Amino acid sequence: MLTVNKKDLAVNAVMARQYAEIGDFRFNANARNQMMVNGLVGSAANAAEMDPRLWAEIDSQTRQLMLPNGGVSRLLTDLMPLARSVHVGVLATMYRRYNGEFEAQTSLDGQHRKPMDSGSYDYDGTLVLVHSSQFGIQWRELEGQRRIGFDQIADDQATSVRAVRRQIVRTFLDGSDITYKGVGAAGIRTSSNVQGIDLGAAGLNFDFTDDTETYDDVRAAFVAVLNSLADAEGDVTVYVSPQIWANFQRTGVTAGNLQTFGQVLELIPGVDKIERLAELSGNEMIGMIRQTEYIRPVVGMPINTVPMERKTPMDDYQYLTWTATGLEIRADAEGRSGVFYAAEA
């Protein structure tokens, strides 16, 4: 999961270990400060232990900033429930891409008399990358913060969380050029496991931002896009650019009907919902069946903030907000997936 919470801690042993490691970072930094207090005369003022209430405030703030009303991207909000926790030492995740169908039968005794099925398969995977942002405060300023409530640290920490979550979304969309032992980190716009749809002249040749197109034409083109996932099972969530979203707010699908184009398009069988996604632009849309069979984040460490160890009493106090997160976009060995990306080529 992308944030630590009590509910998941109670049932997720991997997250519990991740949370313990966050605590270790904080304990070790405090221990370093305490060593300076014990070992150096007159250094107690600027090497004291951080107030535990600060960490409680920071952790609560991080969780709030990852909620829909915290300004987080709708794409991230929808993907978080699908996340899989892995050990922070996992640099890349792999899964087996299967090609073939198993047969099923009906019987009275449950004995399966047909030979065991088999199919061909290969492997695919993604990197679990570290996304981070750092901030700090000069040691004398921190002494003042101790007396007025650490407001500056809390504000800077919130800004760093926003920066990290933006970086996660950018990587989920566009991937990264980082590779490790032949494994990369492709995003929705760049992955070969995504069904690509050309909305330009050489492809579907349709502009969903054009406010002169009739509803019937918009619907026909929209259905053609959805058909790219016809081989996958499940309802499709569609994310559109602000420009498409604005065009979908037109009313008058039929005479006297005040429903918008978007509201009526959501009634098409197989459509879960249509969402505005600020990270898209122009004639661009994404669709996905939100099931772990097709797509899921892989989290080696939830978003958290930890202090960096100081070596001398005059060192600045520095903090790192970070997460280890990748996006697994899954397809079978024939390239069938539950995610599409539509744009003008």
How sure is the predictor about 101, in pLDDT bands with cuts at 50, 70 and 90? low
How sure is the predictor about 200, in pLDDT bands with cuts at 50, 70 and 90? very high
Helix 139-148 to helix 151-174 angle (10° resolution) is: 110
Q: Is residue 165 part of a domain?
A: yes
Is 127 a residue whose pLDDT tops 70?
Answer: yes
One domain for residues 300 and 180: yes
One domain for residues 129 and 163: yes
Domain that holds residue 84: 6-97+123-187+296-329
Q: Is residue 114 part of a domain?
A: no
Q: Look at residues 16, 326, 17, 70 and name the one whose alpha carbon lies nearest to residue 188.
A: 326
In the predicted model, what is the mean pLDDT of residues 17-45? 77
One domain for residues 49 and 165: yes
One domain for residues 304 and 223: no
One domain for residues 162 and 256: no
One domain for residues 164 and 305: yes
pLDDT digits (tens, 9 = 90+) for 157-196: 999 999 999 999 999 999 999 999 889 999 999 999 999 9
Q: Is residue 104 part of a domain?
A: no
Q: Is residue 263 part of a domain?
A: yes
Kind of pairing between the strands at 295-307 and 84-85 = parallel
One domain for residues 68 and 214: no
Q: Is residue 118 part of a domain?
A: no
Percent of the chain residues topping a pLDDT of 90: 61
How many residues comprise the chain?
345
Euclidean distance between the first and final Cα of the chain, in Å? 34
pLDDT digits (tens, 9 = 90+) for 313-330: 788 889 999 999 999 999
User: How confident is the model at residue 238, as a pLDDT?
Assistant: 98
AA letter at 208: F
Give 234: exposed, middle or buried? Use CB within 10 Å, 0-12, 13-18, 19+. Answer: middle
One domain for residues 79 and 134: yes
In the predicted model, what is the mean pLDDT of residues 26-38? 78
One domain for residues 230 and 155: no
Kind of pairing between the strands at 195-198 and 295-307 = unpaired
One domain for residues 155 and 225: no
Please check whether residue 294 is in contact with residue 330, taking contact to mean a CB–CB distance below 8 angstroms. Answer: yes
Q: Is residue 116 part of a domain?
A: no
Q: Is residue 301 part of a domain?
A: yes
Q: Which of these ranges, 119-123, 291-295, 306-310, has the smallest mean pLDDT?
A: 119-123
Is 28 a residue whose pLDDT tops 90?
Answer: no
| Number of domains present in the structure of the chain | 2
Is 41 a residue whose pLDDT tops 60?
Answer: no
Whole-angstrom Cα distance, residue 303 to residue 322? 5
Q: Is residue 105 part of a domain?
A: no
Whole-angstrom Cα distance, residue 26 to residue 15? 17
3-state SS, residue 198 = strand
One domain for residues 10 and 35: yes
User: How confident is the model at residue 69, as a pLDDT?
Assistant: 82
How sure is the predictor about 44, in pLDDT bands with cuts at 50, 70 and 90? low
Full DSSP string of 34-68: HHHHHHSTT-GGGSPPPPHHHHHHHHHHHHHHTSG
Is 49 a residue whose pLDDT tops 80?
Answer: no
Angle at 74 between CA 68 and CA 75, to 5 degrees: 135
Report the CATH number at residue 174. Answer: 3.30.2400.20
Report the CATH number at residue 254. Answer: 3.30.2320.10
One domain for residues 245 and 316: no
Please check whether residue 65 is in contact with residue 71, taking contact to mean a CB–CB distance below 8 angstroms. Answer: yes
